[in-house]
Amino acid sequence: MRHGRRRTRARPQARPLTVAGLTIAAPAKINLGLEVRGRRDDGYHDIVTIFQALDFGDTVHLTPASTIQGESAVDGLDAASDLAFRAAYELQERIGRTSGVHIKIDKSIPVAAGLAGGSTDAAAVLLGLGRLWAADPEAVAETARALGADVSFFLRPGTALGLARGDDLRPLPAAPPHWVLLVRPDAEISARDAYAELRPAEWSGGHSTLQQADAVRHSRFTPQLLTNGLQPAAIRLVPEVAEVLRALESAGANPALLAGSGPTCFGLFPTRAAARTAEAQVKSPGWWTRTTRFMNPPHAAGRQL
């Protein structure tokens, strides 16, 4: 990542290296605010967002091998198209490595759900290969930047402000703790489709999310400032998203918001009991649900698997 002095965040911890390899946690994320300022000259969108890692996610197993091998954990996706395998190939080429790795991913994060499952798996692969291959940390960071803003964030997950394409990352102190109820309707939305559906009238200046970032810096959190500029686009693509949001609000979420580009939505709650009660209330055929919490040290970020 770039920029000057930074507040240090803990890296996800891997198991001690053995002949058999290592295992790394790959947390999901939500966005505590996402505003789109407009379209950039390079075709991407200029955004203001706050990334927040969750105490829930996938598990990535890496074993030394002669070549890069394994199977994609995503049905219908070949390994060459899987971001986790692309991460391994690109780091291998960047550092001139001849040996490989066997990659196995235990998936818990839904696919195309707005929770960055592919990006976090790719980051976990890079972190693991950084150890297995004794790769220079800057080579790992450069590979992550080439793969996308979310991948860079997951090299040191926690709470971070993302500017520009989301790749201008500014680490933030740990956000005040909250419990999170995730609800995903039986649908998928790619980030590409969500941004393509976005209308210029739905762009904004990013002020609410910048105010939220300032609040987090001062150990505060203001639910009323949470907004997601992609939410109207997601509802047009998957109208059931609006139904999920209403269900979360009726169950007491404060607030209920689209997660990333959707279609997963989330509600924030003060306690685990409140979130679990809400989870029981919003259950509906075809809806996936999960109760979790913000991941910040000393929770999932430092634990061994």
Q: Whole-model pTM?
A: 0.89
Residue 268 clears pLDDT 80, i.e. is over it: yes
pLDDT digits (tens, 9 = 90+) for 97-131: 999 999 999 999 999 999 999 999 999 999 999 99
pLDDT digits (tens, 9 = 90+) for 163-212: 999 999 999 999 999 999 999 999 999 999 999 999 999 999 999 999 99
pLDDT of residue 76: 67
pLDDT of residue 71: 80
Domain ranges in the chain? 22-172, 179-293
Would you place residue 220 in the very low, low, confident or very high pLDDT band (cuts 50, 70, 90)?
very high
pLDDT of residue 19: 47
pLDDT digits (tens, 9 = 90+) for 141-152: 999 999 999 999
pLDDT of residue 49: 98
Would you place residue 260 in the very low, low, confident or very high pLDDT band (cuts 50, 70, 90)?
very high
| DSSP of the chain | --SSS----PPPPPPPPBTTBEEEEEEEEEEEEEEEEEE-TTSSEEEEEEEEEEEEEEEEEEEEESSEEE--SSTT--GGG-HHHHHHHHHHHHHT---EEEEEEE--SPTTSSS-HHHHHHHHHHHHHHHHTT--HHHHHHHHHHH-HHHHHHHS-SEEEEETTTTEEEE-PPPPP-EEEEEE-S----HHHHHHH--GGG----HHHHHHHHHHHTT---GGG--BTTHHHHHHH-THHHHHHHHHHHTT-SSEEE-TTSS-EEEEESSHHHHHHHHHHH--TT-EEEEEEB--TTSGGG---
pLDDT of residue 179: 98
**Catalytic residue from among 29, 58, 82, 121:** 29
pLDDT of residue 119: 96
pLDDT digits (tens, 9 = 90+) for 69-97: 998 777 767 676 799 999 999 999 999 99
Would you place residue 18 in the very low, low, confident or very high pLDDT band (cuts 50, 70, 90)?
very low
Q: Which residues of 162-196 are buried (b: 16+ CB within 10 A; e: fewer)?
A: bbeebbbbbbbebbeebbbbbbbbebbbebebbbe
Residue 245 clears pLDDT 50, i.e. is over it: yes
Question: What does CATH list as the number for 179-293?
Answer: 3.30.70.890
Known catalytic residue at 150: yes
The answer to whether the CB of 149 falls within 8 A of the CB of 138 is: no
Residue among 45, 2, 49 at smallest CA distance from 216: 49
Average pLDDT over the chain reads 90
Residue among 204, 226, 205 at smallest CA distance from 215: 226
Residue 215 clears pLDDT 90, i.e. is over it: yes
**Catalytic residue from among 46, 58, 82, 150:** 150
pLDDT of residue 249: 98
Would you place residue 21 in the very low, low, confident or very high pLDDT band (cuts 50, 70, 90)?
confident
pLDDT of residue 11: 54
The answer to whether the CB of 122 falls within 8 A of the CB of 87 is: yes
As assigned by CATH, the class of the 22-172 domain is: alpha beta
